[in-house]
């Protein structure tokens, strides 16, 4: 049995079907079904699959930033114990990390475009032999005579308008700034960030004749199949990727990376499985970075703080010809008013590893700066920062005039402020001192665009009344297994232990993949649609209208009619594939998830050390599909905010372009000791335009602005108005007041 529904999502589904089902599992804080496997170490991650006769590959990275590889001294290495091959195939570094599948390769192994670009793969019988040989491989380079800039702000850096971002212009910003009662014109900087996913990038490749099978750690399997097929010039139908567990990605695994292509080429040549696992340092140096940004924010307001003009201009960077440019102004477009506006992103072409999507690309760094600048305006106008936000929420998206699908920002601000105790904040800096610590509070709004993307999922209601959900959707730690099971359980009236979810295999229908906070709502909508089709069949079998069908605990009921699912199915399975694609709702409405952050910090009066003491976040993102996994996403995002505000920073050596802090010892993500009690409030909301589930994305929302709240709290604590992230001690110290002065 199968049925084709209208695939595109063209008008808001206001039935709110999931509010009329009775199983009561949707939204509940259910545990992840795969959790015990993960915590006991028995979930199999990419590098852990066992194959007989598996050879081990280690990548060799360039030790110059720009030039050509003249010669690899292969023979000496081939004579080393266990070494099987040294590969330097042009296809190996063919890379389409951020959406350029099907287009020409950007870099190749004979030219070096950035320091640590992979240039070869050494394969041996054991990992130790391969690593030893890779380290021993001598490479002759010819350095470029006309190198491009290593620093985006260097005068020789070429600056372009990117392809993926459009300038928004309306009215006359200069005039608005001139006419404004209050005008803020400030420049902020954010450094590059690493995704720093727990699981390093790893692939095991194996050929079965002309069919390639990869066990790899990726976020977007259906897309990754196309990328790898494109790199190898083979038919995508011949590629299968298996990735049931992915140890985080945060954007770094949206696209395939060098180790996957290298493993596939090596396995084809050696006619045996080849595993390539990147070291932590290689992941840092070659996979991808979030661009550093320079952001100029202009805020022009009337005497009451209402914006009449808004400017947000950013300089970001990437390698030449790369398509991606950090979309810094993405949320600025719709968040606040001010008809006179100029929003623009420019990209400097520099020699550093590819810049791409890192957790909440755009908003993560754009919101933290916009919200810090808003704090500066609140101070100038002399109104409460929460009130300033509320005064500036437009009825429609400025310039373009689009309606909002739903927006719980006022509720988030109010409920967050109340829970946090914002009324205890003293508006002027340097008012609260506890021993050697200045104490301060700050806040920021959260906003992140919502996206529904194409997805398919197959649901089987088995003759025994249990359900099976199948899609290649990944679970990168976000809770896909739990959520997709809950949607099916709710729709089919089954307790959660009667639903089995199988993910992460491209032989299954293509889900959305995990990225852009769209996985749960997109693949979840496909699961919902498959279940709707099953409900129709069940209602026909029971002899009632679909709308009158009531499913709970494996029993179908309608009025006086009642039958167990297994009786109703009469020994047959029902199999349906649900599909969804974005449609008119994506154009008709501005869709975003919203929230508010509140932070309390202590800044050491002598050393400038900042400790975050507590944080509260309140978030509205449509229907909550699983209160536990949603809360975890918000918590994780706020932890990213702590890192962005205080410690995280990719440091490049401008003499040769190498990344200095290429591991978790030197690139400081927050550790337990840095993370205080964090309170997360999930608001009740339905957004029918966003998805049939009435849900919006939540994955990345918790980072979008969080660092701004901390920055603003630092100012409130000690009067240090810093505009250069992260706010490390050395930057705070020069701004500290006299530590011995009397506190007012």
Q: Which neighbouring-strand residues pair with 189?
A: 294, 724
Return d(Cα 330, Cα 328) in angstroms, integer: 6
Q: Which of 258, 275, 359, 433 binds ligand MOS (CB under 6 A)?
A: 359
Handedness of CA 731, 732, 735, 739 (dihedral sign): negative
**Binding flags for ligand MOS, 190-229, as an x/- string (CB under 6 A):** -----------------------------x----------
Phi and psi at 466, nearest 5°, equal -95, 160
Applying CB under 6 A, does 515 fall inside the site for ligand MOS? yes
Q: Quick check: is 700 catalytic?
A: yes
Q: Which is nearer to ligand MOS, 254 or 355 (CB)?
A: 254
Length of the chain: 744
User: Least separation, in Å, of the C-beta of 595 and ligand MOS?
Assistant: 18
User: Under the criterion CB under 6 A, does residue 362 sit at the interface with ligand MOS?
Assistant: no
From 81-89, 132-140, 358-366, 590-598, give the range in contact with ligand MOS by CB under 6 A.
Answer: 358-366
Q: Which of 34, 285, 292, 700 is catalytic?
A: 700
| Selected range binding ligand MOS among 145-153, 223-231, 245-253, 647-655, rule: CB under 6 A | 245-253
Nearest to 361 by CA among 274, 434, 255, 281: 255
How buried is 424 (Cβ within 10 angstroms: 0-12 exposed, 13-18 middle, 19+ buried)? exposed
Which segments within 569-609 are labelled E, that is strand?
574-582, 589-590, 592-604
247 vs 398, which CB is nearer to ligand MOS? Answer: 247
Which tokens in the block code for residue 584? 């008119």
Cβ contacts of 406 within 8 Å, gap of 6 or more: 620, 622, 685, 686, 687, 689, 690, 696
Least distance to ligand MOS, CB of residue 517, Å: 7
Based on the shown chain and the rule CB under 6 A, indicate whether residue 477 belongs to the binding site for ligand MOS: no
CA distances in angstroms from 24 to 20, 324, 480, listed in the order given: 10, 42, 18
Residue with tokens 């608001």: 683
Alpha-carbon Rg for the chain, nearest whole angstrom, is: 27
Q: Does residue 357 interact with ligand MOS by CB under 6 A? A: yes
Q: Which is closer to ligand MOS, CB of 470 or CB of 700? A: 700
Alpha-carbon distance of 233 to 236, in angstroms, equals: 9
Sequence-ordered alpha helix ranges (H) in 16-126: 35-39, 74-78
Q: Residue 193 or 258: which CB sits closer to ligand MOS?
A: 193
Q: Is 684 helix (H, G, I), strand (E, B) or coil?
A: coil
Segment lying near ligand MOS (by CB under 6 A), choices 158-166, 355-363, 434-442, 571-579:
355-363
Q: Which is nearer to ligand MOS, 517 or 558 (CB)?
A: 517
CA-closest candidate to residue 125, choices 73, 53, 76: 53
Least CB distance to ligand MOS at residue 520 (A)? 13
Q: Does position 250 bind ligand MOS by CB under 6 A?
A: yes
Residue 24 token pair: 């009561």
Among 216, 273, 440, 516, binds ligand MOS (CB under 6 A): 516
The residue with its CB nearest to ligand MOS is: 251
Q: Which is nearer to ligand MOS, 475 or 490 (CB)?
A: 475
Q: Report yes or no: 68 and 110 within 8 Å, Cβ to Cβ.
A: yes
Taking CB under 6 A as the rule, does residue 711 contact ligand MOS?
Answer: no
* 249: contact with ligand MOS by CB under 6 A: yes
Does position 361 interact with ligand MOS (CB under 6 A)? The reply is: yes
Least CB distance from residue 290 to ligand MOS, whole Å?
9
Q: Which is nearer to ligand MOS, 218 or 422 (CB)?
A: 218
| Given 254, 520, 703, 722, the residue binding ligand MOS (CB under 6 A) | 254
Nearer to ligand MOS, 338 or 637 (CB): 637
Q: How many CA atoms lie within 13 A of 630 on its CB side?
A: 29
Contact positions with ligand MOS (CB under 6 A) in 119-138: none
Residue 249 CB, shortest distance to ligand MOS, in Å, is 5
Locate 240 and state its tokens.
Answer: 């299968």
Residues catalogued as catalytic: 700
Where on the chain is the footprint of ligand MOS (CB under 6 A)?
Answer: 219, 249-251, 254, 357-359, 361, 515-516
């Amino acid at each position: 049995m199968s049925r084709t529904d209208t695939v595109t999502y063209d008008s808001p589904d206001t039935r709110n079907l999931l509010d009329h089902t009775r199983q009561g599992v949707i939204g509940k804080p259910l545990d992840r079904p795969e959790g015990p496997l993960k915590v006991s170490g028995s979930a199999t991650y990419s590098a852990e699959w066992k194959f007989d006769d598996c050879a081990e590959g280690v990548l060799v990275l360039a030790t110059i930033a720009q030039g050509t590889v003249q010669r690899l001294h292969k023979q000496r290495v081939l004579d080393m114990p266990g070494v099987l091959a040294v590969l330097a195939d042009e296809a190996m570094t063919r890379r389409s990390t951020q959406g350029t599948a099907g287009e020409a390769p950007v870099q190749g192994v004979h030219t070096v475009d950035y320091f640590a670009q992979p240039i070869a793969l050494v394969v041996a019988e054991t990992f130790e032999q391969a690593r030893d040989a890779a380290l021993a491989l001598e490479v002759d380079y010819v350095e470029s005579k006309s190198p491009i800039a290593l620093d985006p702000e260097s005068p020789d850096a070429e600056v372009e308008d990117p392809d993926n971002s459009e300038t928004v212009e309306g009215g006359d910003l200069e005039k608005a700034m001139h006419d404004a009662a209050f005008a803020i014109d400030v420049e902020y900087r954010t450094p590059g960030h690493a995704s720093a996913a727990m699981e390093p990038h790893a692939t095991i490749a194996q050929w079965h004749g002309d069919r390639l099978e990869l066990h790899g750690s990726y976020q977007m399997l259906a897309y990754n199949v196309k990328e790898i097929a494109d790199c190898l010039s083979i038919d995508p139908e011949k590629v299968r990727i298996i990735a049931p567990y992915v140890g985080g990605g945060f954007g770094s695994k949206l696209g395939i990376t060098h180790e996957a292509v290298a493993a596939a080429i090596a396995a084809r040549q050696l006619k045996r499985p080849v595993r390539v696992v990147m070291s932590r340092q290689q992941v840092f140096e070659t996979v991808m970075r979030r661009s550093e940004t320079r952001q100029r924010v202009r805020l022009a307001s009337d005497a009451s703080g209402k914006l009449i003009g808004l400017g947000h201009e950013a300089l970001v960077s990437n390698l030449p010809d790369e398509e991606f440019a950090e979309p810094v102004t993405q949320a600025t477009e719709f968040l606040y008013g001010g008809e006179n506006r100029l929003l623009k992103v420019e990209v400097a072409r520099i020699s550093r590893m590819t810049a791409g999507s890192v957790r909440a690309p755009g908003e993560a760094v754009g919101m933290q700066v916009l919200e810090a600048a808003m704090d500066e305006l609140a101070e100038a106008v002399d109104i409460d920062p929460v009130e300033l936000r509320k005064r500036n929420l437009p009825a429609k998206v400025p310039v373009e005039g689009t309606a909002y699908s739903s927006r719980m920002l006022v509720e988030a601000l109010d409920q967050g402020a109340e829970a946090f105790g914002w009324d205890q904040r003293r508006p002027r800096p340097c008012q609260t001192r506890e021993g050697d610590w200045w104490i301060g509070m700050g806040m920021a709004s959260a906003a992140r665009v919502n996206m529904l993307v194409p997805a398919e999922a197959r649901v089987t209601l088995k003759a025994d009344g249990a359900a099976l959900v199948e899609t290649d959707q990944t679970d990168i730690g976000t809770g896909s297994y739990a959520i997709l099971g809950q949607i099916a359980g709710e729709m089919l009236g089954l307790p959660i232990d009667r639903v089995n979810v199988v993910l992460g295999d491209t032989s299954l229908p293509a889900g959305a993949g995990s990225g852009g906070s769209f996985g749960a709502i997109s693949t979840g909508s496909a699961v919902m649609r498959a279940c709707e089709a099953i409900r129709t069949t069940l209602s026909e079998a029971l002899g009632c209208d679909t709308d009158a069908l009531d499913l709970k605990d494996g029993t179908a009921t309608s009025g006086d009619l009642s039958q167990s699912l297994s009786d109703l199915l009469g020994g047959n399975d029902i199999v349906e594939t649900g599909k969804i694609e974005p449609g008119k709702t994506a154009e008709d409405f501005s869709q975003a998830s919203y929230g508010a952050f509140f932070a309390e910090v202590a800044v050491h009066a002598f050393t400038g050390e900042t400790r975050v003491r507590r944080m509260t976040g309140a978030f509205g993102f449509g229907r909550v599909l699983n209160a536990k996994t949603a809360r975890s996403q918000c918590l994780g995002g706020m932890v990213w905010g702590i890192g962005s505000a205080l410690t995280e920073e990719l440091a490049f050596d401008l003499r040769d372009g190498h990344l200095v802090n290429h591991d978790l010892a030197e690139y400081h993500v927050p550790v337990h000791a840095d993370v205080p009690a964090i309170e997360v409030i999930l608001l009740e909301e339905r957004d029918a335009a966003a998805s049939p589930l009435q849900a919006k994305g939540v994955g990345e929302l918790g980072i979008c602005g969080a660092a701004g709240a901390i920055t603003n709290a630092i100012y409130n604590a000690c009067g240090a108005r810093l505009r250069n992230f992260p706010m490390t001690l050395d930057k705070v110290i020069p701004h500290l007041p006299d530590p011995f002065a009397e506190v007012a």
